[in-house]
Structure 1
Amino acid sequence: MGRKSIVKNRKEKTKKVEKWTQAILPKLKSTDLGTLTIDDLASLMNKSKSTVYQYFTTKEEFFEYLTQVRLEHLSSYKAEIASEILQLDYQYKALIQILTEGAKDISAFYLRQLREHYPSAWKLIEDFLLELLKDLEKFYISGIENELFNAVSTKLLIKIDEYFILQLITDDSFFDTSTKDLEAVIRDYMFLKFEGLMK
């Protein structure tokens, strides 16, 4: 007769846990996430397996937490978009900084691996990106109505954003042929777009 699994209470995640889990991201840029074990994750974080198990039951739970923490840091973009449209120059430059910081230490390969192997963590990213697209559309409309942006098709702008945000950022073949990393490409994309929109 097999042993019954014991459900253990996990420790509450602290800022310390947040720090050592986020520190693993640079090490995952080119790692096949599907082959990783909890032992591997513990080793990459220089933690014992028992320490990791105090906070996480499964790899899925680990990657959901890792993703959620990064997205919480990114959530400040909403305040930038929602602030006065008259401060537009400040908004878009701050928005670029927020989004590039969010992409720091993350590769397109990592995002594709996350989508393939940890769909619940990817869903958090996808929901965040869809919300970002809605906010950007409102931002474009407001900028055009206030005559701060050139009068261009907001549908076209969003379609371009949709391709970039939902497809290109997980296309690691594009980044294999590009000398730039994800963070730099996001910065260039946002800069070119807003500089082109500004009157």
Structure 2
Amino acid sequence: MDYKRRILTAFNELALQRGFSGVTMDELATRAGVSKRTIYRYFNSKEEIIDTLLNDILSGFEQKILQMLDSCENPVEKISNIIKIVPRITEKLTPAALHDLHKYYPHLWEKIEQFRARRIQHLFDDLLLNNKYRCFKSVNPKIFTTALLASIRSVVNPAFIIDNNLSVEETIQTLFTIFLSGIVLEE
């Protein structure tokens, strides 16, 4: 494993335990088995490490979403499959890490928000506009996705999850159950 990957892996392991703000460069150097000088050779700052890690997570998430979308035809099944993989991917970002992003790195949190908005907008616009399986009620996709995104921002955020002692998985599944029950036609 190259130094850069080793540093990122070590940082991720430490961040899972303490959140991003709890990781010091000394601890990171020890965990990665490199000097602080080596860390700074590859990354200018802790923020750059977090940004790189976040980009890796979002890129991996994007790939998994695309695989899920290609793996089946039924739109309800596509949504269900995506809902199932979200918690597996977000487990790399604990509520404490998400809270740190939200509080200390708002521009990186915004990157997550933009990613969520872009993916959800694309997914539901496509599914609701191309309702060839006739499994969704006729609703305006813009209104649906805007309402869903607003709900996600309100509910799938660190403060709400921590304050209500929820898991990311439970929060996402409940929210999507509420929304899908509202648009799926009765059989």
User: What is the TM-score of this pair, normalised by structure 2?
Assistant: 0.75
Partners of 2:161 and 2:112 lie apart in 1 by 20
TM-superposed CA distance for 1:62, in Å, is 0.8
Partner of 1:127: 114
C-alpha displacement of 1:110: 2.8
Alignment deviations for residues 110-151 of structure 1 (CA, whole Å, 9 cap, x no partner): 324213322443343233122113213323423645411122
Match of 1:4 in 2: none
**Which of 1, 11, 32 in structure 2 is aligned with 1:21?**
11
Residue 175 (structure 1) aligned to one of 161, 165, 175: 161
Find the aligned partners of 1:20 and 1:40 in 2 and give their Cα distance. 9
Q: What whole-Å deviation, never above 9, does each CA across 1:85-115 have from its counterpart, x for those lacking one?
A: 8422431222112222222143444324213
Aligned twin of 2:68: 80
Please report the RMSD computed on the Cα atoms of aligned residues, expressed in angstroms.
3.1
Q: How far did 1:185 drift?
A: 0.8
1:197 is the counterpart of 2:186 = no
SS of the residue corresponding to residue 151 of structure 1 reads: coil
Q: Check whether the contact 1:42–1:49 (CA below 8 A) recurs between aligned residues.
A: yes
Q: Which runs of 5+ in 1 are unaligned?
A: 1-10
Deviation at 1:155, TM superposition (A): 3.2
Q: How many residues align?
A: 182
Give 1:13-162 correspondences, 5 Å limit: 13-14=4-5, 16-29=6-19, 33=21, 37-42=24-29, 45=31, 47-50=33-36, 51-76=38-63, 77-81=65-69, 83=70, 86-142=73-129, 144=131, 146-162=133-149
1:185 matched to 2:175? The reply is no
What is the DSSP-based 3-state SS (H/G/I as helix, E as strand, rest coil) of the residue aligned with 1:75? helix
User: Contact (CA 8 Å) 1:63, 1:118: kept in 2 or not?
Assistant: no
Structure 2 CA distance for aligned equivalents of residues 158 and 85 of structure 1: 22
Q: Is the 8 A contact 2:95 2:158 kept in 1?
A: yes
Larger radius of gyration: 1
Q: Which has the higher contact order (CA 8 A, sep 6+)?
A: 1
- Give CA deviations for 1:133-187 in whole Å, capped at 9, x if unaligned: 3213323423645411122343332122212333433351x22442321232112
Change in 2 beyond 3 A, CA 1:38/1:158: same
Q: 1:57 Cα shift?
A: 2.3
Contact preservation (8 Å) 2:128, 2:139: no
User: Alpha-carbon deviation of 1:68?
Assistant: 0.9
1:69 alignment partner AA = D
- Aligned partners of 1:22 and 1:171: how far apart in 2? 18
